[in-house]
Each structure stands twice: as structure tokens, then as C-alpha cells.
Structure 1
Amino acid sequence: MNSKMLALYGLKWNPFTHNVPTEALHVTPRLESFCWRVQQLAGDGGFALVTGAPGCGKSATLRILAASLATQRDVSLGVISRPQANIADFYREMGELFGVELRPHNRFAGAKILRQRWQAHIQSTLRRPVLVIDEAQEMQTAVLAELRLLASSDLDSNILLTVVLAGDGRLAERLRSDEFLPLASRVRVRLPIERASPQDLQACLGHALRQAGAPTLMTAEVIAAICDHAQGNPRALMIMAAELLEAAAQREARQIDETLFFEVSAVPAAGEAKVAIRRRR
């Protein structure tokens, strides 16, 4: 969204894009509890798991979690950028995240150096480093197994790392298999994100509008309508809201009201009607 469009509605940013500031993300009591539990987990180490359908808010959850961890003293946080990487690239990224030089062809030495770095951090801060992995369903089986073994030492009695995995139903399905039982049994904190209610979506949208500086950008009726149409999916909600905002800016409308909503939503309906008429012929 360009500056002219932002000025038209008094917006500090586009509230419907994926890259809004962290403070624009709505924090529910359930999400706040999850962040608190992960903060406690960082003291002991272990695995946490976030699961949910595409568009349900997993990545936003991780952004909120990362922001909350950043406020904690002595927390060392790393975020994996390429979950689909092979073991060699996984070690390269781990070395970059935790400030050690690793040789991917020598995994024994790499694991030893990483564990020494983590152990030194634990001894000085009493906190485990935290590793966050989004889209974890894309991780190779060998890499997940390597991560599980890397995260502990001394016959699994010394936990060196806190790992937060987030993924869709494919990740949950993999963790239910016998092959991944050793990893699933180590998950101590879970957050399954279910389909949001219209009331939850309204709270999310209202928060986004207030933080962007335009709480009256949409009428209450429009907010209720698109929250009903989003079918419990925050991403679908924001896509519809962004479409309405673009239409409003094109018309230079001062507010997104019911008239604009019906104009925009009527376009696909008319197209569907034409298809139905052709089929009848």
C-alpha cells in the first residue's frame, strides 16, 4: 500500500498484510499462556509444538512467541529459515545461528562444538537456547532425528536446547507414527490451533484496525459479515479485508460500509450465475 492510500484512511500501515508489526497481532489468553509455558520450558529444555491448518495463525504465533522471548533476560533465540534443508545445510545454518564455525562433513565435531556452546550458555544463564522452526512438516526425517539427538547429552539426562516446532496436519501425522515416537514423547508444551469462531475473528480484526490507527475504517456490519464468511481462518479474513480496502481506495470511499461490501462480493456471485445459466442451456 502506497503512502497516498495510507494517508487516505489515516493508517500507520496496512493492517491486512502478513508483515504488520508484531504489536498489530492479536494475543489471546490461550496464546499468552502458551508463550509463558515456553518461557518456563527454556529453563529446563525440551520440545514445544504448534499445529494447525494453513492460514490459522501458526506463523503469527511464532512471531508473538519470539517477541515475548526477546523480552526475557539471557535468552538466546535462533530461527531456522530453511526447514527443508538437508543435514549438511542444517548444520551450516545452526553454526551461523549460534555463532560457531562448523564443518558439515564432520557431524561429530559439529555436534560437539554446538553442545559445548549451549552448555556454556546454560552454565552462565541457567537458560537453554531456543530454536524456532516454522513449516516443520517440510523437515527431512534425518534432520528431525539429528535435531532430537543433538538437543541432549549424557544419555538424554542433560537437555541442552529448547525447540519450538510449528507445522500443519502433516507434521502432526508424522509425529503419530512409530518412527517419530521418540520425538513426540519429548514434546512438553503443545498448542493445537483450531478453527476460530466469528467472535475471535472480530476481536482479531478489531485489534488490527486499532493498532493501525483506523478503528472506524470498517463498519460493525461489514466486520461481522466478513468474519462469518472467513470460515474460521484468519488468513482468509485478512485477504477479504485487503480486497475491500483496495476497492475502497479505488473509489476513494471514506469508509468500508455495507454498500461497498455488497458491490465487491457481488462480482464473483454474478460470474457464478453466468456459469449456471450456460449450464442450463
Structure 2
Amino acid sequence: MNNIDIQSLYGLKYNPFLPNIPKEALYALPGSEIFELRIRSMAEQGGFALITGEPGLGKSKTLHKMACSLERIPDLTVGVMQRPQSKLGDFYRELGELFNVALSPANRYGGFKMLRERWIHHCQTTLFKPVLLIDEAQHVSDECLTELRILQSHQFDSKNLLFTVLCGDNRLPERFRSPELLPLGSRIGPRLVLEPLSPEQLQNYLRFALDQAGNSQLMSDELIRTLASHAANNLRVLNQMAAELLNAAAIKELPVIDESLFFQIFSPSRSRPRQNQKDPF
């Protein structure tokens, strides 16, 4: 069943368990609100910040929520890098596109100098402060990270021209201990380490998601508790299970999703291979 039918059947403004939820429905994970306040207060000064955690804990949505918050600050310009795995030439090209500066990969020094001059001019005349957000930053090469550090510094490292938030899995902190990236690692200021969520925290998330979507009574309390206790403390797993339940309930046109449907869908017997019966002859 498609999302339009599901939304119509249950009076939902959107499907709360799919990635493309509206920005006002983004959930604040534990510790993220204080981290976001620190970023808002430090963004104009430049520097680096870091968000890390295992897959499925909500790193990308936390970065998305932060981007929406930073975009409301008048003197900031926020750019989100879409291709973190790019080679150096493409990395420079995308950086230039984000901040409206022509960077020529064939002339790295010229592009580097032009970008600095552009930023300095904006800072002096329009209070323009660039902020760069990089999701899946574990895929950024050492070479590009080093260039980013050098590009950011000004006046013998006494002034930062850019604020960068790196977001990625737990490989990132390990990389910053290497000799090549230690100079960048030592410059990282605020750090947010996302931890697995407890069943109680996952229940809070589910109730928030349903309420924001417009139907807080869609799932029974028993189902919410059951889902939260079977999601391996992982937000992505929880959303995937909830989305599957919502689709199954819509097909059956159930008025409320309860625990019985959970056991129909996720019972271990569904995935257990049938035992071969002995030939009676």
C-alpha cells in the first residue's frame, strides 16, 4: 500500500517512520540539544565539531536538525557536502559550488587564495560566516581533510574562516589519532557521541513521532513497549519495524496497531525453515 493511502486511512500528515519526514518532526536525541546550542554559539568563530556513533543511532537526522537550526541564523551561510568520497579536485569543486566561489582543481593555490579572499571579504562587509556540514565523513580522504584544515586557517592559525561539522561512524575518532590527521583532530572542539537508546528512550521517540504525524493513538501502549524492547537499542531498526507494521496494518485496514500484529509479522516461526517430513512410505 502506498503512503498516500496509509496517510488517508490513519489521518497521518506523513509516514513518521520513513526518512523524508518534515524538519519540524526531527527528534532531539539525548545530548543533542546542548550540543546544538554550543554549535550555534561557536559557529561564527570557526573551527571543527564532531558527531560520531554506530550505524542507525540517528547521526544524519541530528545533523539535519542542526542544519535547520543554523540556517535560521542571519549571518551564517550553511553548505552541506553531498559527495564526501570525492577526490581532491571534485572536493574543491563542490566546496566552491556550496559557497559560490569558482575553484579550479587545476590551480589549487589560485582557487585556495580566491576562496579565502572571498570569505574574508564577506566577513568584513556582510558578516557572512560559512558553515560546512559533512555527513558520512568517514569516507572523506585524508588528503581532503588535510586540505580542509589548511583552507580554514588564516593569519598564522589565529583566525578560522570556516566552521565545519564532521558526522560519521566510530572510525573517525580513530583516524584523527593518526600522524596525518592529528593536527585536525587536535582542533576539534564540541563532540557529540551518540549512544544506543534504552527501551524507555525508544518509547519516548515512538510517542513523539506518532504525535507529530497527527495520530498519537495509532499504536497501543503494549505495542510501543514491545517494539522498543525488540529494536536492539537502534533507532533505524525501530523505524524499519514500525514502518513494516504500519504497512501491514493498512493492508488489513486495522483501526489500531496492537501487539498481536507484531507477533504475526515478527514471530520467529516466520523465518524458521520448515522441517522435512518423513516419507510415510
Query: Structure 1 length as normaliser, TM-score?
Result: 0.94
SS of residue in 2 equivalent to 1:260: helix
Equivalent-residue separation in structure 1 for 2:48 and 2:276 (angstroms): 52
Structure 1 unaligned segments of length 5 or more: list them: none
What is the CA deviation profile of residues 105-137 of structure 1, one whole-angstrom value per residue up to 9, with x for unaligned ones?
A: 101011111111211222235563100000000
Please identify, of 45-54 and 96-105, the stretch whose mean Cα deviation from structure 2 is larger.
96-105
* CA shift for structure 1 position 29: 5.8
Equivalent-residue separation in structure 2 for 1:110 and 1:9 (angstroms): 54
Residues 197 and 32 (structure 1), Cα distance of their counterparts in 2 relative to 1, 3 Å cut? same
Equivalent-residue separation in structure 2 for 1:176 and 1:195 (angstroms): 24
SS of residue in 2 equivalent to 1:191: strand
What is the CA deviation profile of residues 145-204 of structure 1, one whole-angstrom value per residue up to 9, with x for unaligned ones?
A: 100100112221121000000000111221122321101100011000011111111111
* CA shift for structure 1 position 23: 1.3
Aligned ranges 1:112-123 → 2 under 5 Å:
112-123=113-124
Query: Which residue is 1:248 aligned to?
Result: 249
RMSD: 1.8
CA contact 1:222–1:258 (8 Å) conserved in 2: yes
Query: Which residue is 2:178 aligned to?
Result: 177
Residues 88 and 276 (structure 1), Cα distance of their counterparts in 2 relative to 1, 3 Å cut? farther
Query: Structure 2 length as normaliser, TM-score?
Result: 0.94
CA contact 1:129–1:161 (8 Å) conserved in 2: yes
Please identify, of 196-205 and 213-222, the stretch whose mean Cα deviation from structure 2 is larger.
196-205
What is the CA deviation profile of residues 201-247 of structure 1, one whole-angstrom value per residue up to 9, with x for unaligned ones?
A: 11111111111101111011111111111111100000000010011
Equivalent-residue separation in structure 2 for 1:26 and 1:275 (angstroms): 44
Residues 125 and 35 (structure 1), Cα distance of their counterparts in 2 relative to 1, 3 Å cut? farther
Query: Which residue is 1:129 aligned to?
Result: 130
Equivalent-residue separation in structure 2 for 1:199 and 1:120 (angstroms): 50
SS of residue in 2 equivalent to 1:61: helix
* CA shift for structure 1 position 276: 11
Aligned ranges 1:19-98 → 2 under 5 Å:
19-28=20-29, 30-98=31-99
CA contact 2:142–2:180 (8 Å) conserved in 1: no
* CA shift for structure 1 position 55: 0.7
The one-letter amino acid paired with 1:42 is: A
CA contact 1:43–1:126 (8 Å) conserved in 2: no
The one-letter amino acid paired with 2:191 is: R
Residues 74 and 25 (structure 1), Cα distance of their counterparts in 2 relative to 1, 3 Å cut? same
Equivalent-residue separation in structure 2 for 1:220 and 1:257 (angstroms): 8
Equivalent-residue separation in structure 1 for 2:85 and 2:29 (angstroms): 30
Residues 253 and 108 (structure 1), Cα distance of their counterparts in 2 relative to 1, 3 Å cut? same
Equivalent-residue separation in structure 2 for 1:121 and 1:203 (angstroms): 43
* CA shift for structure 1 position 259: 1.4
SS of residue in 2 equivalent to 1:76: strand
Equivalent-residue separation in structure 2 for 1:80 and 1:271 (angstroms): 40
- Which of the pair is proportionally richer in helix? 1
Equivalent-residue separation in structure 1 for 2:81 and 2:175 (angstroms): 20
Please identify, of 100-109 and 28-37, the stretch whose mean Cα deviation from structure 2 is larger.
28-37
CA contact 1:219–1:258 (8 Å) conserved in 2: yes
The one-letter amino acid paired with 2:258 is: D
How many residues are matched? 277
Q: Where does structure 1 differ by over 6 angstroms across 4 or more consecutive aligned residues? A: 275-278
Identity of aligned residues (%): 50
SS of residue in 2 equivalent to 1:179: coil
* CA shift for structure 1 position 36: 0.9
Aligned ranges 1:186-205 → 2 under 5 Å:
186-205=187-206
Equivalent-residue separation in structure 1 for 2:13 and 2:7 (angstroms): 7
